[in-house]
Amino acid sequence: MFDGFALREIDVAEDVRLRVRIGGAGPPVVLLHGHPRTHTTWYRVAPLLVDAGHTVVCPDLRGYGRSTAPPPRPDHSQASKRAMAGDVVALMRELGHDSFSVVGHDRGNCVAYRAALDHPEQVTRLALLDSIPIGEHLARADARFAQAWWHWFFFAQPDIPERVINADPLAWYHAGGEREDAMGAENYADFLDAIQDPQVVRAMLEDYRAGLGVDRAADDADRAAGRTIDCPTLVAWSTEDDMEELYGDVLAVWRPWATDLRGGVVHSGHHMAEEAPEELAALLADHLRA
């Protein structure tokens, strides 16, 4: 896994040290994972982007995997996407990159578009996978959304989610032999280590608590001010996920947010980097060199 990549730990903020894989040479691109994965979810995609001529940087988001996070604050802002986006900029600066592309999936998508909005001079290209902005999700929330994405609201409750998940994390996250086969042994082992660490579970829940508060407020403020993502932006979604079922024209949701937008699909379930790595890597490589 990640043959030829270096594994490092890099301080990016007070009480925040990111575990990160780095490989390749050429224009830099950061790959940001979702919940409850770690950076190892990209192990099949990252080498293909190296082969396409890129420096590829894969961190664990703050609090996820083996990256650290500050203690929770009353408003959960230590887990905000603004803070995580700042981590990405600091990480890339530490690695010598003043500008770079960002790819985000799931919760990493929220960090990716926040990086583009908050740091437009640093983010040169953007790819957003299987999500819409947090504020748009919540503004459109209906019974279908609540039934399909109920975990957003459960995770935001105080204390109870930690007790439930940590009582049997393997059952909660449906870990088992079939999942190991799909993920690959080393990626699966990293996933198991993460979900069985109560501190990681707490940090992942804090991510969602921030989502319903400070992250939504940041999105709403951007919309009210008319701020947009101005770098070339790819929005792609899995054909076997529920993005089209919930939102119909996914690109239409993103159009008010991005001035230079293109769309794409990946023929897979939600975890596209694991299920359709070649198709996803080809889509990303095409966007990154366009």
Catalytic status, residue 106: yes
Q: Is residue 14 helix, strand or coil?
A: coil
Structure tokens at 266: 């990946």
Spatial strand order of the sheet with 16-24 comes to: 6-13, 16-24, 55-59, 28-32, 100-105, 123-129, 233-238, 261-266
Residues 6+ apart with CB under 8 A from 178: none
Which residue of the set 60, 87, 106, 219 is catalytic?
A: 106
Q: Name the residue among 141, 143, 91, 135 with its Cα closest to residue 113.
A: 135
| Catalytic residue flag (residue 267) | no
Residue 231 structure tokens: 């770098």
Q: Which residues are catalytic?
A: 106, 270
